[in-house]
Structure 1
Amino acid sequence: MKFKAIGTWSSKLDIGKKNSSFLLEDNTLLDCGPHAVEELINSGINLKDIKAVLVTHLHLDHYGGIPELIWQRALNGITDPVNIIGPEKIENSTISILKYYNTPEFMLEGVKFNNPDNRVTVAPGIHTVEDYTYRIKIENKKLFYSGDTSYSETAIKNGENCDIFIHEATYCNNKEDEAKKYGHSTVNDALKAFTLSRSKILVPTHMSADSLNQIKSLNYENILIPEDGKVYYL
């Protein structure tokens, strides 16, 4: 399985970092924050090849790039179908935002919302808004993506026995109460979820400088710490 780390950072950006987003097999995008489309274009990805976008929830850092994706598709003459999957309100929210941007109607040609995708299994996460976790099967490989969530047994079940287990790790372990308050995970939460899922490789994401440093200090097997803009083959 080929996947590219579009971004690995939480909502509070640092220099050189982009919000959490991953591209699978050059055709399926996991979350689409404000800089995701820019990164796709800069790395030579043809937006025509993006067939599905899986949005975990409607916060800016995970969803803010959807209007830009729709505009850039249209400006490049792309009318091939793209299926934008996400929470129940994603279609109405997107249409409302596009209206505020005075978007011509033709720009929505080919854009679909929440069409069934037999590769994808959805389960709720625990966050401050409606939030999904995704399990994606591509050929003989399985990948789990947590989006934003506190420690969740439901999410763990959705990620059982995956080849790649992408889980958020926003907070250091000494900020457990803050993590729960805002619907996020600590480094220990991510490690526990990974261990209980019996998956093969943990890819932490939605990190902060502090949580990244804590992850780097661990002597823990089967962790791949992703770098923004880098492509991986697993």
Structure 2
Amino acid sequence: MRIIFLGTSAAVPTVDRSLSSIAVDVGREYALIDAGEGTQKQIMLSGLGFGKLSRIIITHLHGDHYFGVFPLLQTMSILGRSRPLDIIAPTGFSLIYKALKEITPTLTSYDVRITEVNGESEFRFSNCTIKMFPVDHGNTPTYGISIKEDDKPGKFDPEKSDKLGVPVELRGILQRGIPIKLPDGRIVRPEDVMGPPRKGAKVVFSSDTRPCDSLRREAEEADLLIHEATYDDDKKERAEKTGHSTLSEAIEVGVASKARKIVLTHFSARYKKEDLERMEARIKEKYNNVIFARDLMVLDL
């Protein structure tokens, strides 16, 4: 699984930060979590291209998280897309899409399948289970995202395979989890030659939120927690008023959840590049597992 931070700014873009969007690339396809204004340009800069995009997940209906969806849809239409696209979004997105489609009938030439969520929801994406769960962003229904990769087969043991007399041409079948029958009639099962399953990666994204119990629960022992950190600690009152988190609040959620790595994102446009660098240096004096996201930053899990 590869995570690409396409945009890391909150509310409005800056000279070096685009609006909120994260790509989750699983090889054959990728999904977008949010798509603020300018997301299609960031996709181009990242090298992802548009062909593998299979779904867009919108965490909440604030413009900086979804106004980039519609230009992206039209670009893919102009480029001749025929493959359907799935959009999962809070209740109300369908009305927005239908209204724009009526005004601009050429918006899409392919099937856009919209699923609206109103509460906790789970769905499959490639070899992952994605869960949307409510977080605390004031009066706006907002969802955090948990992505759990399926467990992977254990490591193949060639010595055990040799002892059992498994022909080389049949070993791949066992590695795919399928039992085989040897020429002498013996049955060899995958567990006879494979180590224990390896735990799949778990990634959790907070979306816009105050620190909350639902997020702490979902982020428990995550390999990666991506948490909004709109404000520095001196703006805590502002964070409380607007339904956002400060740097320390975001980190505290990660520490309480025992997340292995914490990435902070969604920084207020008031902070310039050099401001964020100073803030990151200060945080790293105490925490060595905290990273400040940058546009087009890539993390492999």
Q: What letter matches 1:57 in structure 2?
A: H
Aligned-pair CA distance for 1:111: 1.2
SS state of the match for residue 58, structure 1? coil
SS state of the match for residue 202, structure 2? strand
Is 1:86 matched with 2:103? no
SS state of the match for residue 292, structure 2? coil
Is 1:125 matched with 2:140? no
What is the CA–CA distance in structure 2 between the aligned matches of 1:108 and 1:179, rounded to whole Å? Answer: 41
Q: What letter matches 1:146 in structure 2?
A: S
Compare 115-124 and 59-68 and name the one that shifted more.
Answer: 115-124
1:109 corresponds in structure 2 to: 110
Q: 2:146 aligns with which of 111, 116, 135?
A: 135
TM-score by structure 1 length? 0.91
Percent of aligned pairs sharing the same letter: 26
Alignment of 1:63-78 (within 5 A): 63-78=66-81
1:148 corresponds in structure 2 to: 208
Aligned-pair CA distance for 1:189: 1.1
Q: Deviations over 1:142-163 (max 9, x none)?
A: 1111111111111221222211
- Alpha-carbon contact 1:67-1:98 (below 8 Å) kept: no
Is 1:207 matched with 2:267? yes
Aligned-pair CA distance for 1:41: 2.2
Q: What letter matches 1:230 in structure 2?
A: M
Aligned-pair CA distance for 1:86: 1.6
SS state of the match for residue 17, structure 2? coil
Aligned-pair CA distance for 1:110: 2.3
Q: 1:183 aligns with which of 217, 228, 243?
A: 243
Which structure would you say has the larger RCO, counting Cα contacts within 8 Å and 6 or more residues apart?
Answer: 1
2:177 corresponds in structure 1 to: none
Q: What letter matches 1:215 in structure 2?
A: E
- Alpha-carbon contact 1:120-1:137 (below 8 Å) kept: yes
Cα 1:229–1:9 shift into 2, 3 Å? same
Compare 154-163 and 206-215 and name the one that shifted more.
Answer: 206-215
- Alpha-carbon contact 1:169-1:185 (below 8 Å) kept: yes
Aligned-pair CA distance for 1:98: 3.5
SS state of the match for residue 12, structure 1? coil
Q: 2:282 aligns with which of 214, 217, 227?
A: 217
Q: What letter matches 2:132 in structure 1?
A: V
2:159 corresponds in structure 1 to: none
Q: What letter matches 1:185 in structure 2?
A: S
2:188 corresponds in structure 1 to: none
2:10 corresponds in structure 1 to: 10
SS state of the match for residue 84, structure 1? strand
Q: What letter matches 1:136 in structure 2?
A: I
- Alpha-carbon contact 2:74-2:106 (below 8 Å) kept: no
SS state of the match for residue 224, structure 1? strand
- Alpha-carbon contact 2:226-2:262 (below 8 Å) kept: yes
How many residues align? The count is: 232
Compare 209-218 and 81-90 and name the one that shifted more.
Answer: 209-218
Q: What letter matches 2:295 in structure 1?
A: D
- Alpha-carbon contact 1:122-1:158 (below 8 Å) kept: no
- Following TM superposition, where does structure 1 have runs of at least 4 consecutive aligned residues deviating by more than 6 angstroms? none
Aligned-pair CA distance for 1:125: 1.4
Aligned-pair CA distance for 1:108: 5.4
Structure 1, gaps ≥5 residues long: none
